[in-house]
């Protein structure tokens, strides 16, 4: 909805930084955070200030902008900007759940109607869906475990990289390796870490509001942090699901 209502990408990104993330900063700092040019950031921030959506304050030699939380429609603006973004997955969600279930993930849903995709493609799509569905995220290690001896790891890495899920794949391989005590998975995971990614970011798409971020910072497992993720799901939650379903299968 936000993309439809606010057609300017620079405006959307800056609104999210100020209102959803509760960020504040100079034009140059906010431009970097939003990934827009200085000129676009200055134009949009001044337009927000004129519309009473932003407040500009002098801090020494710098002008610092922040959201105007005293605006009479502040609750409406915050709700719009902190709403979970739409889920975009490469396959119909029910079909994908069925494909994951066929690989051993304990997920309900009908059996897949279309031809079975390679396991590597299904698991890569599962990584995408995991960002939007915590229930999928929690049980995905079960599918990785049950397929660990059948996977073509080069194809799996390629499929994950194509979907910008290389770090998520590394996280899940290391997580599954730890839960199952498989050194082969741990070695596979170690080659996927991108040392250039140092900033932590929310793993779940619905976890970008201030309250959700605070909870994620408190609960994030150290393993998730090592892969650059903040995750409002403790390691024991993964371990409980893994023990229940893997032990039951054994």
pLDDT at position 232: 86
Residues 64 and 150 in one domain: no
In this prediction, residues 237-248 reach a mean pLDDT of 87
Which residue, chain included where needed, has tokens 């408190």? 218
- Residue at 207 is within a domain: yes
**Per-residue pLDDT reduced to its tens digit, 126-145:** 998 898 888 899 999 999 99
Residues 56-69, buried b or exposed e (16+ Cβ, 10 A)?
Answer: eeeeeeeebbbbbe
- Cα diameter, the chain: 66
Choose the final residue of a domain: 51, 82, 113.
82
138 vs 237: CA distance, rounded Å? 7
Choose the final residue of a domain: 82, 101, 136.
82
Residues 115 and 209 in one domain: yes
**Residue 200: which region, alpha, beta or left (left: phi > 0; alpha: psi -120 to 50)?**
beta
What is the pLDDT confidence band of residue 164, given thresholds at 50, 70 and 90? Answer: confident
pLDDT at position 1: 66
High-pLDDT (> 70) share of the chain, % = 88
Write out the residue range of the structural domain in which residue 28 sits: 2-82
Residues 128 and 54 in one domain: no
- Residue at 87 is within a domain: no
Residues 171 and 207 in one domain: yes
Residues 118 and 64 in one domain: no
Instruction: Kindly tell me if the per-residue pLDDT of 38 is higher than 60.
Output: yes
- Residue at 19 is within a domain: yes
> Looking at the 3D structure of the chain, how many domains does it have?
2
pTM assigned to the model: 0.63
106: which 2 tokens?
Answer: 């304990």
- Residue at 104 is within a domain: yes
Residues 108 and 170 in one domain: yes
pLDDT at position 145: 97
**Per-residue pLDDT reduced to its tens digit, 69-118:** 889 888 888 888 776 454 444 347 888 888 999 999 998 766 666 657 89
Residues 104 and 219 in one domain: yes
Out of 94-108, 164-178, 198-212, least confident range:
198-212
Q: What are the residue ranges of helices labelled H in 86-133? A: 93-102, 119-130
């Amino acid at each position: 909805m936000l993309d439809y209502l606010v057609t300017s990408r620079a405006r959307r990104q800056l609104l999210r930084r100020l209102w959803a993330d509760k960020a504040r900063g100079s034009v140059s700092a906010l431009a970097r955070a939003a990934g827009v040019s200085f000129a676009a950031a200055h134009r949009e921030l001044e337009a927000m200030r004129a519309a009473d959506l932003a407040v500009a304050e002098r801090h020494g030699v710098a002008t610092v902008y922040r959201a105007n939380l005293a605006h009479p429609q502040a609750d409406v603006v915050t709700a719009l900007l902190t709403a979970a973004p739409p889920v975009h997955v490469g396959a119909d969600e029910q079909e994908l759940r069925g494909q994951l279930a066929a690989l051993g993930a304990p997920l309900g849903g009908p059996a897949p109607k279309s031809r079975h995709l390679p396991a590597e493609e299904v698991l890569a799509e599962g990584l995408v869906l995991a960002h939007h569905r915590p229930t999928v995220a929690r049980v995905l290690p079960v599918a990785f475990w049950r397929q660990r001896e059948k996977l073509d790891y080069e194809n799996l890495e390629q499929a994950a990289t194509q979907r910008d899920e290389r770090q998520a794949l590394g996280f899940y391989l290391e997580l599954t390796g730890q839960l199952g005590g498989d050194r082969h998975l741990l070695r596979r995971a170690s080659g996927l870490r991108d040392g250039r990614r140092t900033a932590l970011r929310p793993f779940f798409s619905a976890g970008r509001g201030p309250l959700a971020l605070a909870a994620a910072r408190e609960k994030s497992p150290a393993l998730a942090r090592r892969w650059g993720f903040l995750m409002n799901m403790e390691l024991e939650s993964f371990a409980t699901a893994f023990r229940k379903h893997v032990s039951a299968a054994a």
